[in-house]
Structure 1
């Protein structure tokens, strides 16, 4: 009899622990993280930054019923398998008001196992996404977010001589033509120390026809409260 009671107690504790674990897993899935923490925390980097029809459809469904703001996917960055899938996407976002200025943001979209979608985390930046294509000299969005060799070389040239930090291009977002070419690039920035965690930043790089290049501006992503 005592053995039977002991077995029942163990089974009860096991079932209870499973329920608690499942609840905690779901909560962790939808909990926002600090800016940049997606790198090296169970995320798998995308093979290509191109936005697919599937990702577009996920955002369309996730935004149903949302008022006051729009999210347009620009580059697919990474995914994380949880009790469903988290998708990390660079988006163009803007409030739904006349003459609103758009900016770029890192958006985490959660796709549940039963096909429901929800935007669970937004990290905003001050990088301008309101590009006036008809104005000569302004940044123009590129047709493909795949980083070109020219943009990659300009970035490498720009941070030559910098010590202690590395910039790896993830997606090419926009170009600006003038006396040279400026690039707006989503990058992974990593401090060169053991076990360092990278973070995503938007980098504006200016290159000249003579081969010189420099980093013009760096835009951080910050978690929205």
Structure 2
């Protein structure tokens, strides 16, 4: 009887040991499969992160703190590439207004343009250029700043406000009574009678501060000057 009990106990232990080994094997197989899947996902994530084309970073437009072409070498390189084969029209970049990061970069410029024809007159326009990830650039749009403004004439001389005494005096006087915003003149665009159109970067103050590129229309009067209108310019077009 005792011998039969020992044999039965031994058989039970053997069966239990086999079951434990099987469970361990299944656990090991499951762990290996999970590790394999995790490794695959990690590899895929790394590949996407390293591929700018597969996962482009899209952002909004930002207005430049420094607008001078000399302070924006990357933007000027893209512009020169975009206009190198342009025929019949020439552009002079007055200011680099802003940019947008996409799969590549969009740039926005204030340009003084003139047709390559006799007696052609200068025009001012916002011109946008797209540069792809390979460094290829093209013009994607333009907006004439005084288009449709009857009676207005573009400034044919220097775009710098300080080089245009009457326009500068009117602009400065029109701001004397204003507060809560900073007006940075970018260019003197044009004139109609005793009124002046000036492109400016306007930065408001306070908790909800914002910056815009805007056309400021100023009229000189006998008693000083006043702002007639302010029109924001959408550089994203």
Give the TM-score normalised by the residue count of structure 2: 0.56
Q: How far 1:116 sits from its partner (Å)?
A: 0.8
Q: Say if 1:141 and 1:173, in contact at 8 Å, map to a contact too.
A: no
Query: Secondary structure of 2:188's partner?
Result: strand
Query: Secondary structure of 2:62's partner?
Result: coil
CA distance in 1, matches of 2:217, 2:69: 18
Q: Whose RCO is larger (CA < 8 A, sep 6+)?
A: 1
CA distance in 2, matches of 1:91, 1:79: 13
Match of 2:202 in 1: 189
Query: What does 1:1-225 align with in structure 2 at a 5 Å threshold?
Result: 1-2=32-33, 4-18=35-49, 22-25=53-56, 28=58, 37-39=61-63, 44-46=64-66, 48=68, 58-59=78-79, 61-63=81-83, 72-80=91-99, 82=101, 85-92=105-112, 104-120=124-140, 122=142, 124=143, 126-128=145-147, 139-145=154-160, 147=162, 150=165, 154-162=170-178, 166-174=181-189, 176=191, 183-207=196-220, 212-222=224-234
What residue ranges of structure 1 are gaps of 5+ in the alignment? Answer: none
What whole-Å deviation, never above 9, does each CA across 1:80-125 have from its counterpart, x for those lacking one?
Answer: 4846554320135799xxxx99864433323345331123455x36
Residues 216 and 71 (structure 1 numbering): CA distance in 2 closer, same or farther, change over 3 Å? farther
Q: How far 1:10 sits from its partner (Å)?
A: 3.3
Higher mean displacement: 11-20 or 100-109:
100-109
Give the TM-score normalised by the residue count of structure 1: 0.58
Q: Greater helix percent: which structure?
A: 2
Q: How far 1:161 sits from its partner (Å)?
A: 2.7
Q: Say if 1:51 and 1:76, in contact at 8 Å, map to a contact too.
A: no
Q: Say if 2:93 and 2:112, in contact at 8 Å, map to a contact too.
A: yes
CA distance in 1, matches of 2:228, 2:141: 28
What residue ranges of structure 2 are gaps of 5+ in the alignment? Answer: 1-31
Q: Larger Cα Rg: Structure 1 or Structure 2? A: 2
Q: Say if 1:154 and 1:213, in contact at 8 Å, map to a contact too.
A: yes
Q: Greater strand percent: which structure?
A: 1
Residues 167 and 12 (structure 1 numbering): CA distance in 2 closer, same or farther, change over 3 Å? same
Q: Say if 1:101 and 1:129, in contact at 8 Å, map to a contact too.
A: no
Residues 143 and 156 (structure 1 numbering): CA distance in 2 closer, same or farther, change over 3 Å? closer
RMSD of equivalent CA atoms:
5.0
> Number of paired residues?
202
